[in-house]
Structure 1
């Protein structure tokens, strides 16, 4: 799978104790400041996503518009990627070309960020 992401284990292992968190406004995912732009930090959802996989809507030929996916903030969202992967996601931050939040791995939520150019389509509930 060519999807790049940083889970909480990899993040702390990569940076080590000498770098507790990058100095971004609002902190970094997993740090006390939470995600950039989220008031008071954002915790992972406490419940699993829905038990079904929605039918994929019409795919978009270009990158997903950040304005469109921002309507799914803090909602269970199903995402389909250009490489064929798909998964439940809980977005908590949308930037100009990326989305950050939590990805369901089948057992629990993990921190995950992705470039919107890798997303083919999405639907939120």
Structure 2
């Protein structure tokens, strides 16, 4: 059973992506390899796509009462490569370390409680977020 139902590998979750492919990846690249960037993208950004080397903060932040239909990519872009707490529309919440923001999706590393795993979701599935 998939513990993260927001992403269903093999179901073409992200428009224009191959089944099981995360945003920013090219065909044949595996999720554990981190994000891939198009040719010409600053190479320094490519090397920062790995998982964080330490756990996220041990606290759960208080959620601000903000309602929106979808998260703006420009807003969450400010959280790139920072510990970010995410609340999804389905009620789930978790620590996230975003490494890629597209027009409609975000990808990076999600804390499972024991380790970081690569994760991606559509921005319209995110109810709110807070980065630290």
Match of 1:9 in 2: none
1:124 aligns with 2:128: no
Q: Deviations over 1:6-26 (max 9, x none)?
A: 5xxxxxxx98xxxxx8438xx
RMSD of aligned alpha carbons = 2.4
Alignment size in residue pairs: 109
Q: TM-score w.r.t. structure 1 length?
A: 0.77
Verify the 8 A CA contact 2:26 2:36 in the aligned structure 1.
Answer: no
1:80 aligns with 2:87: yes
The ranges of structure 1 where at least 4 consecutive aligned residues each deviate by more than 3 angstroms after the TM superposition are 21-24
Structure 2: any 5+ residue segments left out of the alignment?
10-18, 38-44
Structure 1: any 5+ residue segments left out of the alignment?
7-13, 16-20
The one of 104, 112, 124 aligned to 1:105 = 112
The one of 2, 7, 13 aligned to 1:4 = 7
Q: TM-score w.r.t. structure 2 length?
A: 0.73
